[in-house]
Structure 1
Amino acid sequence: MVLLQDKISNFYSAVKERRTYLSISNDPILPNEELEELINLSVLHAPSAFNSQGDRVVLLLGEHHTKLWDITIDTLGKKLPADRFAITKERLNGFKNGYGTVLFFEDTDVLKDTQEKFPTYKDRVPSWFQQNSAILQYIIWTGLEQAGYGVSIQHYNPLIDEEVRKQWNISTNWNLIAQMPFGKPIAPPKKKEYQSLDHRVKVFK
């Protein structure tokens, strides 16, 4: 294999090291100010379709992080049978034990405005906004793990949307996309199986 240049080798090391960590603790790693800087840099420099910049992020730390997972536990406890909820609650408490959570939203006003500005692509814009969010999620996920955190991405929306809006006075035009709990990893990620690239990549040269 051709060795990557030093300039990009660190980037691809970060790509390889990004994994899903479900066992985390609330032991601090970065000062909160540096966490905010990581989030701000990620949001500022993440690409978006037509430079629409419709991504919105809420960083929950301390009691706010704990409250989010209390809301999620309470909400799912009302909707799932007791036998199923026991396993779910254990998983949710694992996220609650972490240090913080990043909430990802898309601004639907920006989405609609983008559709109006580019009517030819109106039907494609919602899909592109989802891709915008995915890119931002990946940047923050990888950045947090490079800082030493264990991270995962979760999707308990739309079940928790209403309570989240009430609790943190979130605008109704912010649509919740995902939740990213993070904390100090206390167990390694599961072993990952890789499919052959022969079936996934085609090169013509």
Structure 2
Amino acid sequence: MGSVTTTTTTNSTDVFLDLVRARRTFYPLNKKLTVPTSRIETIVSEALQHVPSSFNSQSNRVVILFGGEHDKLWDMTADVLRAIVPAEQWRPTADKMAMFRASAASILFFEDDVPVKELQKNFPAYADKFPSFAAHSTGMLQFAVWTALESEGLGANLQHYNPLIDAKVAEEWKIPATWQLTAQMVIGGRGIPVAGEKTFRPLEEKFKVFGA
């Protein structure tokens, strides 16, 4: 029988898991930020610096839009969608765009193709894997930012209007051509104090342990 090592869960680990449990999707949001914009910038930049990436490639990129720049994003998105959504179906889409615009800020997540292609060049045996590895990293970054903002009392939801808006976003904010938009996180004050109950599939369907 193998030896058993007993460890004590640290308080900081419990705090972290509490934050993971608390992270939720909030609709609607408003323009009342619970923290200064500088605090949001610090949270996002720290997460960007420290979230892991394949071979430390650091392919994640972020743009934050506050105030009028945030409003511009959702006006722009509405214009793009209006051109492709049938008129008789436009009202629900218009209401959704207005809801996002009524929030305080947007965080745009990108992946830079340059470090990904560099890895593909240097490690050809794994070339087909590196795009998915980069996607894993941006997912971790989004989760880290989302959870941290939740702990500051902010609400957030994650949207994916890429690639429909990619060209207009790149033109408006002078985004480098190698940056590929992956998601848009909408943040702001919580329009409702508590999100709805979270439901779960049985853990037994999702989790296995061997050799413990």
Q: Which residue of 1 aligns with 2:35?
A: 30
3-state DSSP of counterpart to 2:118: helix
After TM superposition, the score normalised by the length of structure 1 is 0.96
Q: Root-mean-square deviation (CA), in Å? A: 1.4
**1:93 corresponds to:** 98
Distance 1:179 1:77 in 2: 19
Rounded Cα–Cα distance in structure 2 between residues aligned with 1:21 and 1:91:
13
In structure 2, the residue matched to 1:110 is 115
Correspondence 1:11-90 to 2 at 5 A: 11-90=16-95
**Offset, 1:4:** 4.3
Cα deviation for residue 30 of structure 1 reads: 1.1
Alignment map for 1:144-155 (pairs within 5 Å): 144-155=149-160
Q: TM-score scaled to structure 2, two decimals?
A: 0.93
Residue 196 of structure 1 is matched in structure 2 by 202
Who is 1:179 aligned against?
184
Q: Which has more radius of gyration? A: 2
Extract unaligned runs of 5+ from structure 2: 1-7
Deviation at 1:110, TM superposition (A): 1.4
Figure out how many residues of one structure are paired with residues of the other and give that number: 204
Aligned to 1:129: 134
Task: Classify the secondary structure of the residue corresponding to 1:178.
Answer: strand
Aligned counterparts of 2:142 and 2:201: Cα–Cα separation in 1? 24
Of the structure 1 ranges 87-96 and 70-79, higher mean CA displacement relative to structure 2 is found in 87-96
User: 2:4 maps to which residue?
Assistant: none
Distance 2:157 2:82 in 1: 22
Q: Matched residues in 2 for 1:118 and 1:87: separation?
A: 47
Which string of whole-angstrom CA distances, capped at 9 and with x for unpartnered residues, describes residues 7-50 of structure 1? Answer: 20000000000011121000121111111111110101010000
